[in-house]
């Protein structure tokens, strides 16, 4: 609004009282609201205050070149637009694991397995958390974030190979709560015959993560409200999978993965979506063949993430982005990303998040 009609913006600023101007601003799409914050100091203060409730926005998708994670392009599905850049000031060009919840991101540096940040990508506010106990000594780590209106919880699953033993692991769960500003360790298992991976999510107060044992993998769950044992039977995966990703979609645990051949799990024939129903996976959808072919050459590695009712799927080899609406059971491509592939070695990845102004780390 401010970009298209500068004279109107100035008139509104001069004539309207604060409460009425704030109510008008609250009805703008989020992208327009962010532009309105640049009009003047008064508008910027109102946008930051965010006193009026706003309807939740569909999750945005942040796409970047895999070896340059500091900035990239962002897709807004409600307006079907790509925005030129989203700068995350706490990041550098390291490899990062990302978990998102209620407008916040939790980012773990995989180079050190110890640098951990929580940030709001819209307001660019961020905080560095203390290192989880034993993070630098672990071989595999996964983080998951669950945010509420005032506080957030970060859970880290760490696996360390026991010295001199190729099959035994020490697996531990560490929990950080913003309300206390401290880590606790509610579960630890030594000499485990399995290890965790790098994929986890919090759903319904339960920490879910992938577990691996002798070439097989399954799903483990740990109730964050009750300290207990990790040595419970894993829920089997629905079929041979590659690039399996866990997602919390409105407190439903959803799995997206490449469907591998029975004799060659690294060769995929499609991409499926499953939902955990009690202790078993139920197939919800499969990428239609015409969309699957639209990715071009798709190997067994690809990116996917989801929030609300939306699942995003992206090939590492191109900036093509596919959306699946879980509520409407509808597949569609995003508008073409303005980024073009410059060389055959260029890879793309990304993650989605709910854009919000009213949360801070």
pLDDT digits (tens, 9 = 90+) for 7-58: 445 555 556 677 777 676 766 777 777 777 666 777 777 776 655 556 678 9
| Of the listed ranges 63-77, 118-132, 139-153, 170-184, the one predicted with least confidence | 63-77
What is the predicted pLDDT for the residue at 60? 95
Whether residue 261 has pLDDT greater than 80: no
Name the residue with higher pLDDT: 300 or 350. 350
Same domain as 284, residue 317: yes
The whole-number pLDDT of residue 80 equals: 92
What's the pLDDT score for residue 339? Answer: 81
Per-residue pLDDT at 187 exceeds 60 = yes
Start-to-end Cα distance in the chain: 29
User: Which comes out higher in pLDDT, residue 78 or 26?
Assistant: 78
> Does 99 lie in the same domain as 246?
yes
User: Given this model, what pLDDT does residue 295 score?
Assistant: 84
List the alpha helices (DSSP H) in the chain. Answer: 6-15, 18-26, 30-36, 41-49, 289-294
Q: What is the mean pLDDT of residues 205-217?
A: 90
pLDDT at residue 357, rounded to an integer: 81
1 pLDDT higher than 80: no
Residues 6+ apart with CB under 8 A from 103: 120, 122, 147, 353, 354, 355, 356, 357, 358, 359
How many domains in the chain? 2
Tell me: do 68 and 115 sit in the same domain: yes
Residues 68 and 43 in one domain: no
Domain match, 29 and 172 both = no
Task: Please give the model's pTM, rounded to 2 decimal places.
Answer: 0.88
State which residues form the domain around 185. Answer: 63-353
Return all residues near 88 (Cβ < 8 A) that are at least 6 apart: 69, 70, 71, 105, 107, 119, 121, 124, 126
Same domain, 266 and 344: yes
Ranking 40-44, 55-59, 289-293, 321-325 by mean pLDDT, the lowest is 40-44
Percentage of the residues of the chain whose pLDDT score is greater than 70: 86
Within this chain, do residues 132 and 238 fall inside the same structural domain, yes or no?
A: yes
Phi and psi at residue 131, in whole multiples of 5°?
-70, 140
Q: What is the mean pLDDT of residues 272-290?
A: 95
pLDDT of residue 2: 46
Average pLDDT, the chain: 85
Residue 360 lies in a domain: no
Verify that 212 and 297 share a domain, yes or no.
yes
Calculate mean pLDDT across residues 273-302: 89
In terms of C-beta density within 10 A (0-12 exposed, 13-18 middle, 19 or more buried), how is residue 359 classed?
buried
Burial class (CB in 10 A: 0-12, 13-18, 19+), 172: buried
**For residue 214, is it within any domain?**
yes
Is the residue at 55 inside a domain?
Answer: no
- Ramachandran sector of residue 263 (left: φ over 0; alpha: ψ -120 to 50; beta: rest): alpha
What value does the mean pLDDT take over residues 297-326?
90
Domain of residue 120, CATH code: 2.120.10.80
More confident residue, 47 or 138: 138
Q: How confident is the model at residue 164 (pLDDT cuts 50, 70, 90)?
A: confident
Give the pLDDT confidence score for residue 172 in this predicted structure. 95
Asked whether residue 58 is assigned to any structural domain, the reply reads no
> What are 314's two structure tokens?
């992206």
């Amino acid at each position: 609004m401010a970009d298209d009609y500068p004279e109107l913006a100035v008139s509104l600023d001069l004539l309207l009282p604060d409460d009425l101007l704030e109510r008008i601003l609250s009805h703008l799409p989020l992208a327009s609201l962010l532009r309105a914050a640049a009009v003047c100091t008064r508008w910027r203060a109102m946008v930051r205050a965010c006193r009026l409730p706003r309807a939740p926005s569909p999750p945005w998708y942040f796409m970047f070149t895999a070896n340059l994670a500091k900035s990239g392009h962002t897709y807004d599905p409600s307006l079907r637009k790509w925005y030129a850049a989203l700068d995350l000031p706490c990041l550098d060009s390291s490899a990062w694991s990302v978990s998102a919840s209620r407008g916040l991101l939790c980012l773990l540096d995989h180079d050190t397995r110890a640098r951990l940040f929580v940030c709001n990508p819209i307001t660019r506010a961020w905080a560095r958390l203390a290192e989880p106990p034993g993070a630098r000594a672990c071989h595999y780590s996964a983080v998951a974030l669950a945010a509420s209106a005032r506080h957030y919880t970060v859970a880290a699953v760490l696996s360390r190979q026991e010295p001199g033993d190729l099959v035994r692991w020490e697996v531990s769960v560490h929990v950080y709560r913003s309300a206390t500003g401290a880590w606790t360790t509610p579960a630890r298992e030594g000499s485990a015959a399995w290890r965790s991976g790098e994929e986890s999510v919090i759903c319904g107060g339960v920490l879910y993560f992938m577990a691996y044992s002798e070439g097989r993998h399954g799903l483990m769950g740990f109730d964050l409200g009750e300290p207990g044992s990790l040595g419970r039977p894993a829920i089997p995966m629905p079929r041979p999978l590659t690039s399996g990703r866990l997602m919390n979609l409105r407190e439903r645990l959803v799995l997206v993965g490449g469907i591998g051949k029975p004799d060659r799990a690294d060769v995929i024939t499609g991409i499926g979506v499953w939902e955990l129903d009690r202790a078993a996976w139920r197939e919800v959808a499969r990428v239609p063949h015409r969309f699957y072919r639209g990715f071009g050459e798709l190997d067994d590695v690809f990116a996917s993430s989801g929030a609300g009712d939306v699942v995003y799927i992206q090939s590492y080899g191109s900036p093509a982005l596919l959306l699946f609406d879980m509520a409407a059971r509808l597949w569609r491509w995003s508008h073409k990303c303005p980024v073009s592939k410059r060389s055959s070695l260029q890879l793309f990845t990304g993650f989605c998040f709910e854009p919000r102004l009213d949360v801070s780390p």
